[in-house]
């Protein structure tokens, strides 16, 4: 559970969001957290590529709230999204 | 516009679906034209800033750009495209045309 | 069970009885499942313990993991599960989150890592104890409304020039708005940093990533003493009030993902 409070133009409106925004998660999980030399860890280059491809996905997902065509090539996304913790 | 197959190296918002292929080709062409128009306009403004153009040159360039903008609007309307439709997403390179505002 | 198992690390927590009362880390773990739907457990170490899950090497060894990470659906699912686990643990006491996708091939390596880095890990845990991360994202409130061509009367004698001057005014306006927004963002960041123990700036999210039309000008993270949260909230409200052209959005509470730097580690340690 997270608190998302939008404050602007003198109209504070605290909003409880069940869904933590994926981009905010990525900002933290891919670039934050303790880094130790695990035997298998992502290199920074891998992380950047993952970020970039995900940003594209996010764009298509948002556009796809309307048109279905943007969902092409993203099978299982619905399940993936709703399955989120 | 449909999203292409999930090839990491190729992420343009151009359909590979033949049904919408023609429309998207028009989109691509108009986007390129729009890009050129914007670049020309930026260049013109830069020259205006530098002050190395005569009044007549400024007027001529201004009229040309104005006419181009008009023509682009007509073409877009003709093909039923909004300005946003002409902004191809190049993935890591951002959008083709600079965002407004 | 002969399938080879790797170990996925979620976080490091203090060993021994948790401040929330004995066994609350354990009970939190009992209620969570991990990225491979596995149960979580503690790998004990000196003074600290690692929260771990046994995951199939078939999916989580280096090559298959790299492949999976290119699949955004898989990535999203596991990112959310990882975060869910870390977040659930916060209720039981201080939690030092591990970088997503820190995987070991043997549990003994995990224990060895805890032993080797026990001082740094303990120090990092101490640093975030009693503190929470909050995110503050700032956007331009709306697209530049000033279309500065209204006031100018149509100049019939030189319409081309008028057009260019109009475009120039619009462009200059845009640049100025952007620049001003950037400066305001810096001031906001400073004000919030002053109300926090530590601060960090994440890269700005693109319009698609943020899902907002307006450009983002600040993507900040702030480690705030829990006891000083009201002061931080007040600072946020002040910033929002002082900068009417900007939209301020708070996210949190977060586990302290952005404040876990334990210093440069030599290769192979």
Report chain A (85 residues): mean pLDDT per 10 consecutive residues: 40 43 85 75 55 54 40 33 29
Look at residue C269 and tell me if it is in a domain: no
| Whether A18 contacts chain B with CB within 8 A | no
Q: Which residues contact C186 (CB under 8 A, 6 or more apart)?
A: none
Pair (C110, C169) in one structural domain: no
Q: Which CATH number fits the domain that encloses residue C171?
A: 3.30.70
Q: What is the ipTM of this complex?
A: 0.80
pLDDT of residue C14: 94
Q: Do C143 and B100 touch (CB under 8 A)?
A: yes
Look at residue C140 and tell me if it is in a domain: yes
Q: Which residues of C touch A56 (CB under 8 A)?
A: 208
pLDDT of residue A36: 78
* pLDDT per residue as tens digits for the range C91-145: 889 999 998 888 888 888 899 999 999 999 999 999 999 999 999 999 987 655 5
Closest by CA to C207, choosing from C217, C197, C199, is: C217
Between B and C, how many residue pairs show a Cβ–Cβ distance under 8 A? 54
Given pLDDT bands bounded at 50, 70 and 90, which one contains residue B16? Answer: low
Q: Which residues contact A30 (CB under 8 A, 6 or more apart)?
A: A42, A47, A50, A51, C99, C100
For chain C, what is the domain count?
Answer: 2
Between A and C, how many residue pairs show a Cβ–Cβ distance under 8 A? 188
Q: Which residues of B touch C214 (CB under 8 A)?
A: 101
User: What's the pTM value of the predicted model, to 2 decimals?
Assistant: 0.72
Pair (C67, C180) in one structural domain: no
Which residue segment(s) compose the domain that C119 sits in?
5-128
Q: Do B66 and C160 touch (CB under 8 A)?
A: yes
* pLDDT per residue as tens digits for the range C7-50: 999 999 998 765 554 458 888 899 889 999 999 999 999 999 99
pLDDT of residue B98: 58
What percent of chain C shows pLDDT beyond 70? 88
Pair (C68, C144) in one structural domain: no
- Residue with the larger pLDDT of the pair C2 and C263: C263
Given pLDDT bands bounded at 50, 70 and 90, which one contains residue C232? Answer: very high
Pair (C147, C246) in one structural domain: yes
C126 contacts C223 by C-beta, under 8 angstroms:
no
pLDDT of residue B95: 62
Pair (C201, C224) in one structural domain: yes
Least confident range of A65-79, B67-81, C164-178: A65-79
Sheet containing strand C246-254, strands side by side? A13-17, A2-8, C246-254, C131-140, C216-225, C198-201
Look at residue C159 and tell me if it is in a domain: yes
* pLDDT per residue as tens digits for the range C240-261: 998 888 899 999 899 999 999 8
Q: Do C174 and B61 touch (CB under 8 A)?
A: no
């Amino acid at each position: 559970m997270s608190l998302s409070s939008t404050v602007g133009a003198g109209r504070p409106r605290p909003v409880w969001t069940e869904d933590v925004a994926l981009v905010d998660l990525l900002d933290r999980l891919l670039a934050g957290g303790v880094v130790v030399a695990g035997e298998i860890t992502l290199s920074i280059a891998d992380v950047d590529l993952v970020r970039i491809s995900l940003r594209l996905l996010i764009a298509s997902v948002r556009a796809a709230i309307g048109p279905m065509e943007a969902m092409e090539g993203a099978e299982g996304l619905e399940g993936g999204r709703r399955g989120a913790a | 516009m449909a999203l292409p197959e999930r090839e990491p190296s190729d992420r343009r918002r151009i359909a590979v679906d033949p049904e919408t292929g023609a429309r998207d080709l028009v989109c691509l062409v108009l986007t390129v034209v729009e890009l050129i128009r914007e670049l020309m306009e930026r260049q013109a403004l830069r020259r205006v800033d530098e002050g190395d153009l005569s009044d007549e040159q400024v007027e001529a360039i201004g009229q040309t750009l104005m006419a181009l903008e008009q023509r682009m609007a007509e073409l877009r309307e003709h093909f039923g495209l909004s300005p946003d439709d002409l902004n191809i997403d190049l993935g890591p390179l951002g959008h083709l045309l600079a965002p407004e505002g | 069970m002969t399938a080879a198992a790797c170990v996925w690390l979620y976080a490091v927590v203090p060993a021994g009885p948790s401040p929330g009362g004995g066994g609350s880390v354990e009970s939190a773990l009992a209620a969570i499942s991990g990225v491979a739907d596995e149960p979580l457990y503690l790998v004990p170490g000196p003074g600290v313990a690692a929260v771990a899950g046994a995951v199939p090497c078939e999916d989580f060894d280096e090559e298959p993991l790299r492949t999976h990470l290119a699949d955004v659906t898989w990535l999203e699912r596991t990112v959310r599960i990882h975060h869910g686990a870390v977040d659930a643990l916060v209720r039981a006491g201080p939690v030092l989150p591990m970088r997503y996708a820190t995987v070991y091939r043997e549990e003994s390596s995990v224990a060895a890592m805890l032993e080797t880095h026990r001082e740094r890990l303990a120090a990092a845990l101490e640093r975030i104890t009693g503190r929470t991360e909050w995110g503050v994202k700032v956007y331009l409130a709306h697209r530049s409304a000033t279309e500065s061509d209204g006031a100018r009367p149509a100049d019939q004698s030189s319409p081309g020039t008028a057009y260019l001057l109009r475009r120039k005014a619009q462009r200059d306006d845009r640049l100025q708005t952007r620049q001003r927004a950037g400066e305001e963002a810096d001031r906001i960041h400073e004000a919030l940093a002053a109300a926090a123990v530590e601060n960090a700036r994440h890269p700005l999210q693109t319009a698609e990533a943020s899902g907002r039309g307006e450009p983002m000008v600040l993507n900040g993270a702030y480690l705030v003493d829990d006891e000083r949260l009201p002061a931080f909230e007040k600072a946020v409200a002040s910033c929002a009030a002082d900068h009417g052209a900007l939209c301020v959005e708070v996210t949190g509470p977060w586990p302290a993902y952005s404040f876990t730097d334990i210093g440069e580690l030599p290769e192979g340690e």
